[in-house]
Amino acid sequence: MSGLFDFLVAPLAVRPVTLFLVVMAASTGAALLVRRFYRRTIDRLVTEAATDSVLEVMNYRECLHRLAEAIEESRRYEVPFSVCLIDVDGLKQMNDTYGYLAGDRLLQAFVRLARDSARATDLIFRYRQGDEFLILARHTSVLGAGVFAERLARAFEASRIEVEKDRVLSATLSVGVVGFDPVKDGAIDGSGLCARAERALSLAKKRINAVAIGEQGQGD
């Protein structure tokens, strides 16, 4: 109370200055709160724009952005990386037979397995088609990525996924694997690398439940 009393009996010349300081402090605090709210809102919108809302993995647009970053890093530090383009075999038929909810649960099971199998530095994206995913394996040769893809495909094949009460399904994967070599892959960009991975996946899908290693060479 003494502080308030002192303010009330303070000389009139001092009181406006004190009021000004109080108002400025309050305004600064409010401005900080507004800036924090604005920053959090922007961060949330950026995250939502880069993320597939159903499976909570990064989307195709973010995939191209991260591939461009990986290519730049690879050329700067002369380290390879690889990508695995993955198709969940027969998803359309499962959707037609059991419904889209069952298909979504199958995809969610795949994402969980992929996250458990990948390293912390690897990135998982939902690709163009609803049943396709891309895994970016940093600092990994194409042979190393091929071994990873085989393990992932065999683990998914062995999974039993409950899509609804008393209904358990299993599925297989087809995987196309390609690598990026900073020496051999001169002018290729993210879109070119994706095109190469799509060709490898096409070969794998012809056999179904298979892993195919794509070509590598001077650009595309």
**Residue 143 and residue 101 share a domain:** yes
Enclosing domain of residue 148: 57-213
Cα dihedral 211, 215, 216, 220 sign: negative
Same structural domain for residues 8 and 103?
A: no
**Alpha carbon distance, N-terminus to C-terminus of the chain:** 79
Rounded Cα–Cα distance for residues 41 and 152 (Å): 36
Backbone phi, then psi, for 130, in 5-degree steps? Answer: -65, -25
Residue 219 belongs to a domain: no
Contacts of 115 (CB under 8 A, 6+ apart): 124
pLDDT at 163: 83
Residue 220 lies in a domain: no
Do 74 and 31 sit in the same domain of this protein?
no
Helix (H, G, I), strand (E, B) or coil at 134: strand
CB distance 168 to 160 below 8 Å: yes
> What is the CATH number for 69?
3.30.70.270
Query: What are the residue ranges in the chain where pLDDT is below 50?
Result: 5, 7-8, 34, 36-50, 218-219
Residues 189, 141, single domain; the answer is yes
Please provide the average confidence, as pLDDT, over all residues in the chain.
83
Domain count, the chain: 2
Q: In the structure encoding, which two tokens stand for residue 152, read together? A: 């992932």
**Which residue in this structure is represented by tokens 């993320």?**
51
- Whether residue 186 is contained in a domain is answered as yes
Regarding whether 130 and 27 lie in a shared domain, the answer is no
Predicted pLDDT at 18: 66
Per-residue pLDDT, 52: 74
Q: Looking at residue 24, what is its pLDDT? A: 66
How big is the chain, counted in residues?
A: 220
| Both tokens assigned to 212 | 């195919």
Q: 141-161: per-residue pLDDT in tens?
A: 999 999 999 999 999 999 999
Residues 63 and 39 in one domain: no
